[in-house]
Amino acid sequence: MIVPHVLVVDDDLRLLDLIKRYLCQNHYWVSSAPKVFHAERALSIFKFDAIILDVMLPEEDGWSFLERKCANLPPVIFLSAMGGPKERVKGLSLGAKDYMMKPFEPTELLLRLRNLISTECVLQLGEYWLNLKQNLVYDAHKQVVPLTELENKVLVYMAHHPNEIVKREELIQTFFSTTSNPRVLDVTLSRLRKKLDPFNAHPELFSAIRNQGYILQIRT
pLDDT tens per residue, range 1-60: 456 789 999 999 999 999 999 999 998 889 999 999 999 999 998 878 899 999 999 999
Contacting residues for 25 by C-beta, under 8 A, at least 6 apart: none
Grade residue 217 by pLDDT with cuts at 50, 70 and 90: confident
In 46-163, which residue ranges form alpha helices assigned H by DSSP? 62-69, 85-93, 106-118, 149-159
pLDDT value of residue 92: 96
pLDDT tens per residue, range 66-77: 999 988 888 999
In CATH terms, are 5-118 and 122-216 the same topology?
no
Chain centre to alpha carbon of residue 198: 27
* Cβ proximity of 99 and 199 under 8 Å: no
Residue 7 dihedral angles phi and psi, to the nearest 5°: -105, 125
Residue 53 dihedral angles phi and psi, to the nearest 5°: -125, 125
What's the CA gap between 196 and 11, in Å, rounded? 46
What's the CA gap between 23 and 198, in Å, rounded? 42
pLDDT value of residue 121: 63
Dihedral sign computed on CA atoms, order 86, 91, 97, 103: negative
HSE-CB for 96 with a 13 A CA cutoff: 26
User: What is the architecture, at CATH level 2, of domain 122-216?
Assistant: Orthogonal Bundle (1.10)
Residue 102 dihedral angles phi and psi, to the nearest 5°: -85, 145
What's the CA gap between 210 and 111, in Å, rounded? 44
pLDDT value of residue 203: 82
**Cis (ω within 30 of 0) for the bond into 146?**
no
pLDDT tens per residue, range 86-143: 999 999 999 999 999 999 999 999 999 988 886 556 677 777 878 766 677 877 766 7
In the predicted model, what is the mean pLDDT of residues 192-217?
86
Name the residue with higher pLDDT: 156 or 60: 60
- Domain 5-118 in CATH 3.30.200.20? The answer is no
Which residue ranges make up each domain of the chain? Answer: 5-118, 122-216
What's the CA gap between 205 and 201, in Å, rounded? 9
